[in-house]
Structure 1
Amino acid sequence: MYPIVEIVHIVGFAVLVGSVAMFDLRVLGFARALPLKALGRHLLPWALASLALIVPAGFMMFSAHPHDFAGSTVFQLKLALIAAAGVNAAIFHAGPYRGAVGWNDGAPAPLAAKAHAAASLLIWIAVISCGRLLAYT
């Protein structure tokens, strides 16, 4: 059963990080012909729905080896990075994204928005790296 749960977790992460990456790349200036708000309305439900796969699967994987994971520095870092990604997204949506009307179609995003997008990409790459490293620690 563990491999099936792990596959569900990975598929969920692929959808989540893929959605986030597409949005972040748009904020960074790629594909400016796509309206940012429309892209966000399309990708956000996919990102949120993927959490319905990731969270329960993650809890199941944790419950199979709680002592191994709880004592792992890599696992603790992964959880801290996930929290950082959530805080970064919340600040982005409460701050720069509120002014997205001015850079929705073609105009470059402000530096603050780009900083959040770049941080998001780096944080999620780090989360994925930690997840992979867990197999070897």
Structure 2
Amino acid sequence: MRDDAWLYPIVEIVHIVGIALLVGAAAMFDLRLLGFGRTLPVQALARHLLPWSWVGLLLIVPSGLLMFTTQPELLDNGVFLLKLALIAVAGVNAFVFHAGPWRVAGDWPQTPPARARLHAVLSLLLWIAVIACGRLLAYV
């Protein structure tokens, strides 16, 4: 990838599009859990957004791995390691949400329970931090 003037930028664009899809879908869902767009049924919104987040993930993982292959020295970069840790925590947060409060989402009142809202706040903060770390990599 280092020898081609266009390959790395194309892979980076694919990565950014994946981030937009994954984080955009997650953010829209999280904001709904936090009370925005109350007229949208939570489960219907999830059915619409979840496939987009999977598409985003399918773009992010291979493109991220390809970019990493050009800079393995990132393993010595604290910001990169923090980014990976934050991604792992965001994944655990999503898993715990789906294994916990989401299992009874059909029984939720108009406002999701506090535990679901806590997961939404964590999700938003974690993904913002992941994006910030990704951008900081260009400067540290």
The TM-score bracket by the shorter chain reads over 0.9
Runs of 4+ in 1 over 3 A off after TM superposition: none
Residue 99 of structure 1: aligned partner: 104
User: Quick one: higher RCO (CA 8 Å, sep 6+), 1 or 2?
Assistant: 1
What TM-score does the superposition give when structure 2 sets the normalisation length? 0.93
How many matched pairs? 134
Cα distance in 2, alignment partners of residues 89 and 51 from structure 1: 13
| 1:136 counterpart SS class | coil
1:113 aligns with one of 109, 116, 140:
116
Instruction: Please give the residue correspondences for 1:41-56 in structure 2 after superposition, counting only pairs within 5 Å.
Output: 41-56=47-62
Instruction: Please give the residue correspondences for 1:64-79 in structure 2 after superposition, counting only pairs within 5 Å.
Output: 64-67=70-73, 69-79=74-84
Instruction: Please give the residue correspondences for 1:33-44 in structure 2 after superposition, counting only pairs within 5 Å.
Output: 33-44=39-50
2:94 equivalent to 1:89 = yes
Name structure 2 gaps, 5 residues minimum: 1-6
2:132 aligns with one of 108, 122, 129:
129
What TM-score does the superposition give when structure 1 sets the normalisation length? 0.95
Residue 36 of structure 2: aligned partner: 30
Name structure 1 gaps, 5 residues minimum: none
Residue 8 of structure 1: aligned partner: 14
